[in-house]
Copies of this chain bind each other. A is one copy, B any other.
Amino acid sequence: MTDLIDATDRAILRVVQTNATLSAGAVGRAVGLSQPAAWRRLRRLRDAGILRGRELSFDMEMLGFGVTVFLGIKLATKGRVSLEDFERVVAAIPEVRRVEHVLGRYDYRLRITARDLADFERVLRRRVMALPGVGEVEANVLLSEERLPGPL
């Protein structure tokens, strides 16, 4: 897959990455392009699927969900429970905000949001431990996190 993206496109991606609220005109000004030119490139990037839909992020703490825990899960009986089944039932737990299928010590990593530790214990015992095929489970409580621009 040869690069369909040139240096100007990269500059645009770098801009919108840190400022998703920017209009085509503003993006153009930032990279030295006119409004229509920037708009055309943005549409091209979106149509190509490189730029995927926007996502809003909430302050979960302000909404009463002060506890975020990462669960590493190793399936006990691989083969007995299909990965698809496991993913479907795990995704049905309301407190699960993210399901990551990984390779390594664990088979899955879950990001879980709860109101407090007592609430998390309820989710862990009544929901997660009740999942089919769950073997080893390990928890990491989130203290703080930072998102970074990344390469490009």
Among the interface residues A56, A94, A138, which one has the most CB atoms of the partner chain B within 10 A? A56
Give the residue name and chain of the B residue nearest to A52 (CB). Answer: B57
Give the residue name and chain of the B residue nearest to A19 (CB). Answer: B53
* Cβ–Cβ contact B103 & A141, under 8 A: yes
Task: With A104-B138, A151-B113 as known contacts, state yes or no: A20 contacts B98, CB within 8 Å.
Answer: no
Interface size class of A (residues with CB under 8 A): 35 or more
* Cβ–Cβ contact B55 & A20, under 8 A: yes
Task: With A91-B148, A113-B151 as known contacts, state yes or no: A58 contacts B99, CB within 8 Å.
Answer: no
Chain B residues closer than 8 Å to A70, beta-carbon distance: 100, 102, 109
Among the interface residues A1, A63, A65, A109, which one has the most CB atoms of the partner chain B within 10 A? A63
Give the residue name and chain of the B residue nearest to A112 (CB). Answer: B150
Task: With A151-B94, A151-B95, A151-B113 as known contacts, state yes or no: A56 contacts B146, CB within 8 Å.
Answer: no
Report 10 cross-chain contacts, Cβ distance below 8 Å, ordered by A residue.
A21-B53, A48-B62, A50-B58, A51-B58, A52-B58, A54-B56, A55-B55, A95-B151, A100-B144, A102-B142
